[in-house]
C-alpha cells in the first residue's frame, strides 16, 4: 500500500474514532458502530468448561440452516463501512467450521474493513491458513488457556487440543509474516491463575504480537448449563490473581506484545473482588454483536435481541426503541468486565485521548489497521 493510502486509512480510523467518542459525549449514538462482533455459527468442535456453546447444538436440529448466509452478512456489514464501521471480529462457535469463511473475509476486505478471526485453532491446516491469508485476513486470534497441555486441555474438555492450537498458531504466524498479525486469547480463571505469567513467553514463541486476557464470566447466555463452578476465582485467589496480572503486564511490555490496557487489567482484580466499577461501557454505541441466528445485541450479557438482520435492515435495528433502551441500560451498567465492550471505552474515548494521545494512536492502529496498512 502506498504511503498516501496508509495515511488516508489512519486518518479515517482516527476521525471515525473521534467522531464516535464525540457522539457519546453529546449524549447521541453514532450512525454505525466502529466494531461488530459476528458469531458466524453456534457449531463447535470443543467441549469447553467455560462455554456452553457446544451444548446448544444438542438443542437445535440443524444449526447450520439457521445461520445467516454469507451474502446477507456481507450486504449488512459492507453497507456499514461508509457510515463509520472500521472492523469486524468473526467468531463463533468455531468460525473455521463455516466453509464460506474465506469468501466472507474477502468480501469484508473489499469494503476496506479490518478483519479478525477468533478461533480455537484446532482446525488450522496449511490449506486453511493459506485460504485465510489469500482472502486478506488481517488478524488471527487463537484461544490458548494455559502454557501447558494439561491446563489448556482440561479447560477445553478435549485431550490433544493444546498441541493442535499451538501448532496451528505457529504455522499461521510463519505463513503470515508481513501479511497478517496473530494473537493469543487467554481465559483468566481459577485453574490457570498461577500460570498466567508464562503466557507472554508462549505467545512470543508462537510468533504472536498480541496477548489478550479474558476474565472468566458466568453471565454469557452460553453459560446457562454451568452447574458447579470450578472456574470462578474466589476471594482467597485474589492475591495470586493480582501478582499474575502484574507479571503479565511487565513481561508483555518487555517483549513488545500488545495487551490489555493497564486500567482494564487493574479492573479484573476489582471485578472479582466485587468492587464497583464505573466506566462508560461501549455496548450498543461503538460496538455490538450479531449472533449465530442473525440477532443483533448491544452486548451478550443483557441478552435481549434488538432485532434480526435476516428480516430487518441494520439501520432500522440500530435506531430502534429497543436499542435505545439498551443504551440507557448500558450507561453506568456494571454487570460485567468483558474486554470487548469495556476496553474500547477505556482506550478510544475522549478522556483517553486527553490523557495520552500516543497511547490512543497506538491502540487505533492495533484495532483498526492491518499489518499491510502499516508496513
Ligand X SMILES: C[S@@+](CC[C@H](N)C(=O)[O-])C[C@H]1O[C@@H](n2cnc3c(N)ncnc32)[C@H](O)[C@@H]1O
Binding footprint of ligand SF4 on the chain (CB under 6 A)? 44, 46, 48, 51, 53-54, 92-94, 120, 281, 283, 299, 301-302, 330, 333, 335-336, 338, 341
**Which of ligand X, ligand SF4, none sits in contact with 119, Cβ below 5 to 8 A by type?**
ligand X
**Which of ligand X, ligand SF4, none sits in contact with 341, Cβ below 5 to 8 A by type?**
ligand SF4
How is 122-135 classified by DSSP, letter by letter? TT--HHHHHHHHHH
Binding track, positions 182-201, relative to ligand X; x by CB under 6 A: ---x-x--------------
> Which residue bears the cell 469463511?
101
In the bound complex, what is the minimum distance in angstroms from residue 95's beta carbon to ligand SF4? 9
**Which of ligand X, ligand SF4, none sits in contact with 302, Cβ below 5 to 8 A by type?**
ligand SF4
Does 297 bind ligand X (CB under 6 A)? Our answer is no
> Which residue bears the cell 478510544?
348
Does 143 bind ligand X (CB under 6 A)? Our answer is yes
Q: What are the residues facing 115 on neighbouring strands?
A: 88
The smaller minimum CB distance to ligand X, of residues 141 and 285, is found at 141
- Kindly state the cell numbers that stand for 39: 458469531
Report the greatest alpha carbon distance in the chain.
56
In the bound complex, what is the minimum distance in angstroms from residue 143's beta carbon to ligand SF4? 6
Does 220 bind ligand X (CB under 6 A)? Our answer is yes
266-244-168 Cα angle (round to 5): 105
The smaller minimum CB distance to ligand SF4, of residues 166 and 330, is found at 330
Cβ atoms of 370 and 5 within 8 Å: the answer is no
**Which of ligand SF4, ligand X, none sits in contact with 269, Cβ below 5 to 8 A by type?**
none
In the bound complex, what is the minimum distance in angstroms from residue 145's beta carbon to ligand SF4? 9
* Strands of the 295-297 sheet, one edge to the other: 258-259, 210-215, 181-188, 139-143, 114-119, 87-91, 35-39, 287-290, 295-297, 307-308
Give the separation between CA 290 and CA 168, rounded to whole angstroms: 27
> Where do the H-state alpha helices sit in 52-159?
53-56, 70-80, 101-110, 126-135, 149-156
In the bound complex, what is the minimum distance in angstroms from residue 358's beta carbon to ligand X? 29
Q: Name the site residues for ligand X (rule: CB under 6 A).
A: 44, 50-51, 91-92, 94, 118-120, 143, 185, 187, 214, 216-217, 220, 223
Amino acid at each position: 500500500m502506498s504511503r498516501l493510502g496508509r495515511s488516508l486509512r489512519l486518518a479515517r480510523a482516527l476521525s471515525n474514532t473521534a467522531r464516535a467518542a464525540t457522539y457519546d459525549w453529546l449524549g447521541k449514538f453514532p450512525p454505525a458502530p466502529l466494531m461488530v462482533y459476528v458469531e458466524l455459527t453456534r457449531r463447535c468442535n470443543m467441549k469447553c468448561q467455560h462455554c456452553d456453546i457446544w451444548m446448544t447444538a444438542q438443542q437445535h436440529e440443524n444449526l447450520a440452516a439457521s445461520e445467516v448466509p454469507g451474502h446477507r452478512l456481507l450486504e449488512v456489514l459492507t453497507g456499514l463501512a461508509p457510515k463509520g464501521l472500521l472492523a469486524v471480529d468473526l467468531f463463533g462457535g468455531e468460525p473455521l467450521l463455516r466453509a464460506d469463511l474465506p469468501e466472507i473475509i474477502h468480501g469484508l476486505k473489499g469494503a476496506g474493513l479490518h478483519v479478525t478471526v477468533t478461533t480455537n485453532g484446532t482446525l488450522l491446516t496449511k490449506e486453511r491458513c493459506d485460504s485465510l491469508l489469500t482472502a486478506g485476513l488481517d488478524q488471527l486470534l487463537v484461544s490458548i488457556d494455559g502454557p501447558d497441555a494439561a491446563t489448556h486441555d482440561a479447560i477445553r474438555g478435549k485431550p490433544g487440543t493444546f498441541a493442535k492450537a499451538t501448532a496451528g498458531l505457529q504455522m499461521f504466524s510463519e505463513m503470515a509474516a508481513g501479511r497478517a498479525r496473530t494473537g493469543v486469547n487467554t481465559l483468566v480463571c481459577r485453574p490457570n491463575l498461577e500460570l498466567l505469567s508464562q503466557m507472554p513467553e508462549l505467545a512470543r514463541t508462537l510468533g504472536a504480537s498480541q496477548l489478550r486476557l479474558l476474565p472468566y464470566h458466568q453471565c454469557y447466555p452460553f453459560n446457562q448449563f454451568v452447574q458447579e463452578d470450578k472456574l470462578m476465582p474466589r476471594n482467597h485467589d485474589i492475591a495470586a490473581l493480582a501478582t499474575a496480572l502484574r507479571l503479565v503486564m511487565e513481561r508483555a511490555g518487555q517483549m513488545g506484545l500488545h495487551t490489555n490496557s493497564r486500567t482494564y487489567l487493574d479492573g479484573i482484580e476489582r471485578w472479582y473482588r466485587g468492587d464497583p466499577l464505573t466506566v462508560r461501557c461501549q455496548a450498543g454505541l461503538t460496538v455490538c454483536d450479531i449472533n449465530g441466528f442473525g440477532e443483533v445485541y448491544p452486548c451478550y450479557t443483557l441478552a435481549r435481541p434488538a432485532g434480526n438482520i435476516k428480516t430487518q435492515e441494520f439501520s432500522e435495528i440500530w435506531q430502534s426503541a429497543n436499542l435505545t433502551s439498551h443504551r440507557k441500560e448500558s450507561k453506568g451498567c456494571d454487570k460485567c468486565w468483558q474486554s470487548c465492550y469495556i476496553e474500547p471505552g477505556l482506550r478510544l474515548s475522549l478522556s483517553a485521548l486527553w490523557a495520552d494521545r500516543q497511547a490512543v494512536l497506538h491502540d487505533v492502529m492495533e484495532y483498526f489497521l492491518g499489518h499491510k496498512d502499516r508496513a
